[in-house]
Amino acid sequence: MQKQQKTLCLILSIACAGCQSLQLTKQSAQFQHRFVREQLVLHSDFPLPEQHRLVEELALQRERLSEKLLLPPTDEPIHIYLFAEGASYYDFLNQRFPGFPARRAIFVETDIELSVYAHWGDHVAEDLRHEVAHGYLHASVPNLPLWLDEGLAEYFEVGRGLRGVNQPHVELLAAQANLANWKPDLLRLEQLTSAAEMTQQDYAEAWAWVHYLLESGDDKANLLTDYLADLRQGVAGETLSARLKKRLAGPELAMAEHLQMLR
């Protein structure tokens, strides 16, 4: 079976309120359809049924994320801009965000809005679960480290019922580990600052650390939720790798063993 190749996402943080509001006026003409579902504001260039099961799932993700990460839910709107066709989506990206890598879906945070852009293609469910997770996270936790932002989005992009297991990532990391091309290194991931430079393997490893912390038991989820609570309070404190080292003798080996069990 051919391995699924995932397209990376892109997080843009743009501090440009003036030009943004001008652009938004032009943008609203392009999306004739709009409805609000709880925290989500859906804009589309095609009629999207309000009762669509994907919309339902995205709305439920708010509670799922809040329960799993012990974060209080927020009310900041998350705008989702959907294109019926890939071609118009990529044209839009070229005009609106020139110079940025064209990704299958993107999350944009500006001074005034959290927004997601995507097109209604084969991967729309996974893409929207991923990007909307960024939306819920950014509405709640400021200054989330890049690796953790992506690791959590990769965890929540998996459909409900799979306990966050992102199988293509499990396979990729196992293959790279077998070739001696990879071993867990959270300290390295913590140094990453550019989403455009993150590789598929970085996304996979970020996911693997999140899954290990949330799903391997022994109270390790508290390490992650305490860290998120500190970030939320604006207390930088120790990095997650430093916290893990205090708690476990060999977190890298334990994470690799956790991955092995998921195969």
CB of 131 to Zn ion, least distance (A): 7
Calculate the alpha carbon distances from 49 to 35, 41, 46, 201 in Å: 10, 13, 10, 36
Q: Whose Cβ is closer to Zn ion: residue 108's or residue 170's?
A: 108
Cα 135 from chain centre: 8
Name the closest residue to Zn ion (Cβ).
9
Cα 127 from chain centre: 9
* Inter-residue contact 245 to 185 (CB < 8 Å): no
Residue 148 class from Cβ within 10 Å (0-12 exposed, 13-18 middle, 19+ buried)? buried
Q: Whose Cβ is closer to Zn ion: residue 5's or residue 178's?
A: 5
Stretch that binds Zn ion, among 53-61, 149-157, 185-193, 250-258 (CB under 5 A): 149-157
CB of 151 to Zn ion, least distance (A): 9
90 phi-psi bin (left φ>0, alpha ψ -120 to 50, beta other): alpha
For tokens 């070229």, what's the residue?
Answer: 94
Q: Whose Cβ is closer to Zn ion: residue 57's or residue 109's?
A: 109
Q: Which of the residues 3 through 22 are near Zn ion (CB under 5 A)?
A: 9
Stretch that binds Zn ion, among 31-39, 63-71, 79-87, 152-160 (CB under 5 A): 152-160
For residue 180, the tally of other CB atoms under 10 A from its CB is: 7
**Residue count (the chain):** 263
Q: Nearest-CA neighbor of 54 among 149, 118, 109, 138?
A: 118
Quote the CA–CA distance of 224 and 244 in Å, as a whole number: 9
CB of 28 to Zn ion, least distance (A): 25
CB of 247 to Zn ion, least distance (A): 27
CB of 8 to Zn ion, least distance (A): 7
Q: Whose Cβ is closer to Zn ion: residue 210's or residue 256's?
A: 210
The count of chain residues that interact with Zn ion, using the rule CB under 5 A, is 3
String marking each residue 109-148 x if it binds Zn ion according to CB under 5 A: ----------------------------------------
Among 80, 108, 116, 153, binds Zn ion (CB under 5 A): 153
Contact residues for Zn ion (CB under 5 A)? Answer: 9, 150, 153
